[in-house]
Structure 1
Amino acid sequence: MGSGPYACGMWTDPKKYWEALTAATADRPAPCAVVEAGAWAHNRGELVRRVADARSDAGMTGSLPIRVASKSIRVRGLVESLLRRDGFAGVLAFTLAEANWLADHGVDDVVVGYPTADAAAISRLCADERRASAITLMVDAVEQLDLIDAVLPAARRPELRVALEVDVSYNLPGMRVGVYRSPVRAAQDARELAEKVAARQGFRLVGLMAYEAQLAGVGDVPSGSFIEQARTRAIQVLQSRSRPQVAEIRGEAVAQVREIAELEFVNGGGTGSIESTAQDESVTEIAAGSGLFGPGLFDHYRAFLPAPAAAFALDVVRKPTPDMATLLGGGWIASGPPSSSRLPVLTWPPGLGYVDEEMAGEVQTPLTGAEDLRVGDRVWLRHAKAGELAERVNHLTVVDAESVAVIAELPTYRGEGHAFL
């Protein structure tokens, strides 16, 4: 296990921390989304440290850069601040439209993490040599190349950079652990696709990505009911079996593709799998982003525990009973399988609970355990996932809890007029 962020930092005293955030943002209307500067800096350092420590533990020399997963941030100012830091290099974007926009603002290395069918964004990419040189498209099938050529044939556009995605989910008879992404599932599949890309005019194969979602995005700390704890124990077993399989599939695919093209990068991992990904000799960079904000779903990992850097405050607007309080808004449900794990985490004050019949609602969220709350008080919540918080607000307020002060207001993608996905 890593040293963990709770060895230091103001957030180790929840009462002091959350009350400082309340005081610092008292003049700002709810919903008020914040990033606490000290916690953000700590999480940023922890990501870099975890990479270095994992490499050192395995007797490997040199470190690996972290490619910023912008999906998990969605605030250009924060993304750009990371790219100025040692240990971070390049962006993993989630749409081509976003990648074009970032490139137009000076980001010179953007990999689009998902294939695109956005004809307008493809046209915009092809209209500018500089843009085309900064952006790498993701492909996993020839049909995606055909679609690009249908928008603008090779003779009428710059050469486009592309990367292949290889599926490294863990498959057992009747069970799949991981996510459904690329149809490229074996080294031979990767080689065959690489040969087809290399043979196509107007495309240059420069990278490969293999994302181990079953390791990077699934918590492994048992909690909750007996059934939930048993499920988590099963996840631990499956993850331990999956790690060597991921390294084997990815390593074989990289070896095969390198016989076809000179790869500039091999991308893997995420916040939850840094330790194992950093020790994979075939990987040249690690994607990460969620660990910077420390959202609710990342409270459940054994290897690390990020500080709660991002949160949002809602106002109490009514008291339906003496022991209840109702918040205005609150239904900021995270994507993924519908379950209580996708609800915002009720963070401060302690002891609050959702009402089963309503849970987190579009316009109101009634809470139990609220005897001490009054109309006008604030409740702090943390979104279950990282970047989705930014889709709900026009800016994030950067707060220094130590000085109980607001130090910046940063527009989100939404605040800059963009809803990329």
Structure 2
Amino acid sequence: MDDRQRLDRATAGVEPPFAVVDMDALRANAADMTRRAGGKPIRVASKSIRCRAVLERVLAMDGFAGVMAFTLPEALWLVSAGIRDVLVAYPTADRDALRALGSDPTAAREITVMTDSPEHLDLIEGLALPHPIRICLDLDAGYVALGGRFRAGALRSPIRTPEHAAAFAAAVAGRPGLRLVGLMAYEAQIAGVGDRVPGVYGRMVRLMQDRSRRELAVRRGNVVRAVREVADLEFVNGGGTGSIEKTAAERAVTEVAAGSGLFHPRLFDFYRDFTGRPAALFALPVVRRPSPGVATVLGGGYPASGAPGPSRLPQPYLPAGLRYHRDEGAGEVQTPLLGPAAAELRVGDRVWFRHAKAGELCERFASLLVVEGDRVVEEVPTYRGEGRTFL
């Protein structure tokens, strides 16, 4: 039985549109991720999951420990639901959420917030919170070359050198209401950029990533040593799904962050060092046949964030051999599909799609159908389904 037959059989009693998580595929992906981590714990990036029930299942697996949240309100909600050790990956200016954090001893113990500037420290300290706030320093992990004329990597923290990081750590240490407990450096140009790309561009990507890895391993190690002279760090976090084994190999790194690899969305098909199984998919019904070679499905316009382009569109996955119409793409309320498989589809059939990214799929659906083998064993709410839309 192929994947299309298995998924169709499992969901035969459900009318699309709907989304599923294939637990057999997710478990296989999780096992491969922990193998790549080489014994270092993986902190689960919640923005790549956005379903509390799935997040709890992953945290129960060997090799996974802690959550990397994307907003402080999300972290407060997760901790209130019993999840522990939550690092907020991005700085916050949400004063109400910070007051809630500093007023709740459990939350203050379990949540760490991200900072990279004195303004963040001033904002937090100015609230005069009753409980100390755990702080993580965000280090710029981007690659800079040609005297600063070339840069690869996310535009995140202004902190880059050991000297700057040590000075910032000292600034935190001088504030009694704050405690520096962690350091994070996310190498987006390696972890989030596929290197299995043909031609000259692919060679350039691989050259950039190789040089970036070597530069960052030295710089991150020097930064960690400098900061440890000022603060007793509990963790040093780095990496992402695309760089797990390389980041984990650095002595200075104590844990890696990853999440997308669990669902293995379309953008993660383009890496040389690992392969995964698509574990999160959505099904749309065929609702019209404009011509013999076209099948139109309901909905489908679920683009991913990032620089706009074809790579951000969902992938028509099953049956194989479908493509978008060049003038319409993925539509808000309907999507015409072309290709050899389109001629075989009939009104009422379903087409299975993969999202370009991972957790963003859950912003479109209120629940996920949990598939085991060829059966739906449970339906679980997404963040959206629990009434939580944090961004």
Per the TM superposition, whether the score is higher than 0.5 is yes
- Match of 1:126, SS state, is helix
Structure 2: how far apart are the matches of 1:30 and 1:197? 52
Cα deviation 1:321-361 (Å, max 9, x = unaligned): 11001111000000001111111011111111101111001
2:182 is matched with 207
Counterpart of 1:69 in structure 2: which amino acid?
A: A
**Matching residue's letter, 1:300:** F
Task: State the distance in 2 between where 1:38 and 1:81 align.
Answer: 13
Partner AA of 2:239 in structure 1:
G
Counterpart of 1:92 in 2: which secondary structure? Answer: strand
- 2:222 match: 252
Counterpart of 1:219 in structure 2 is 194
1:376 counterpart = 2:348:
yes
CA distance in 1, matches of 2:103, 2:16: 42
Match of 1:417 in 2: 387
2:153 equivalent among 160, 178, 183: 178
CA distance in 2, matches of 1:19, 1:121: 46
- Residue 102 (structure 1) aligned with residue 78 (structure 2): yes
Instruction: Report SS of the residue matched to 1:247.
Output: helix
Pairwise CA distance, 1:269:
0.6
1:79 aligned to 2:51?
no
2:233 paired residue among 259, 263, 276: 263
Letter in 2 for 1:350: A
**Inter-partner Cα distance in structure 2 for 1:230 and 1:393:** 39
Q: Which residue in 1 is equivalent to 2:357?
A: 385
Would you identify which runs of 4 or more consecutive aligned residues in structure 1 move more than 2 Å? none
The SS at the match of 2:43 is: strand
2:271 is the counterpart of 1:285? no
The corresponding residue for 1:345 is: 315
The Cα offsets for residues 165-202 of structure 1, whole Å up to 9 and x where unpaired, read as: 10010112322111100000111110111010110120
How many angstroms apart in 2 are the aligned matches of 1:230 and 1:25?
43
Please give the alpha-carbon distance, in whole angstroms, between the structure 2 residues aligned to 1:43 and 1:64: 16
Q: Which residue of the other structure, out of 126, 136, 156, is the alignment partner of 1:163?
A: 136
Q: Which residue of 1 aligns with 2:303?
A: 333
Matched with 1:10 is none
Which residue of structure 2 aligns with residue 132 of structure 1? 108
Measured in 2, the distance between the counterparts of 1:168 and 1:400 equals: 39
1:198 has 2:198 as partner: no
CA distance in 2, matches of 1:170, 1:18: 42
2-side partners of 1:326 and 1:407: how far apart? 30
Q: Give 1:278 shift.
A: 1.1
Report the Cα offset of residue 366 of structure 1.
0.7
- Percent identical: 55
Separation in 2 of the partners of 1:18 and 1:246? 43
Counterparts of 1:201 and 1:37 in 2: how far apart (Å)? 46
The DSSP-based 3-state class of the residue aligned with 2:180 is strand
2:118 — aligned with what? Answer: 142
Cα deviation digits, residues 350-402 of structure 1 (max 9, x gap): 1111011110011111111211111111001000000101111011101123x
1:28-107 equivalences in 2 (<5 Å): 28-52=14-38, 63-107=39-83
Q: Which amino acid aligns with 2:362?
A: A
RMSD of the TM alignment (CA)?
Answer: 1.0
1:406 matched to which residue of 2?
376
* CA distance in 1: counterparts of 2:242 and 2:353, whole angstroms: 22
Distance 1:175 1:234 in 2: 13
Q: Report if the CA contact (8 A) 2:125-2:178 is conserved.
A: no
Give secondary structure in 1 for the equivalent of 2:291. Answer: coil
Question: How far apart, CA to CA, are the structure 1 residues paired with 2:100 and 2:9?
Answer: 45
What corresponds to 2:272 in structure 1? 302
Residue type of the partner of 2:331?
G
The alignment's TM-score, normalised by the length of structure 1, stands at 0.90
Query: Which letter maps to 2:215?
Result: Q
Give the superposition deviation at 1:230: 2.1
Name the counterpart of 1:313: 283
Gaps of 5+ in 1: 1-14, 53-62, 224-228
Q: CA deviation at 1:29?
A: 2.3
Structure 1 counterpart of 2:74, which letter? Answer: E
Question: Over residues 48-102 of structure 1, what are the superposed CA-to-partner deviations in whole Å (9 max), with x where a residue is unaligned?
Answer: 11112xxxxxxxxxx2111111110011111112222221111010000000001
Q: Determine which of 348, 351, 356 is the counterpart of 2:326.
A: 356
Letter of the structure 1 residue corresponding to residue 164 of structure 2: D
List per-residue Cα deviations over 1:265-311 (Å, max 9, x = no partner). 00001110012111100000000100000100001100001111111
3-state DSSP of counterpart to 1:163: strand
The two structures have a TM-score, normalised by structure 2, of 0.97
Aligned-partner Cα distance in 1 for 2:288–2:58: 41
**Rounded Cα–Cα distance in structure 2 between residues aligned with 1:296 and 1:107:** 29
Contact 2:140/2:159 (CA < 8 Å) preserved in 1?
A: yes
DSSP-derived class of the 2:29 partner? helix
Taking the aligned partners of 1:114 and 1:418, their CA distance within structure 2 comes to 18
Distance in 1 (alpha carbons) for counterparts of 2:326 and 2:296: 14
Distance 2:233 2:261 in 1: 28
Report the alpha carbon displacement of residue 26 of structure 1 after superposing the two structures with TM. 2.1
SS of 1:319's partner is strand
Displacement of 1:233: 1.7
Corresponding residue for residue 12 of structure 2 = 26
SS in 2 for 1:180: coil
1:114 counterpart residue number: 90
Structure 1 residue 262: deviation in Å? 0.3
Task: Supply the distance in 2 between the matched residues of 1:233 and 1:365 (Cα, whole angstroms).
Answer: 35
Question: What is the alpha-carbon distance in structure 2 between the residues aligned to residue 302 and residue 17 of structure 1?
Answer: 24
2:371, 2:4 → 1: CA distance?
11
- Structure 2 segments unaligned to the other structure (5+ residues): none
**Code of the aligned partner of 1:146:** D
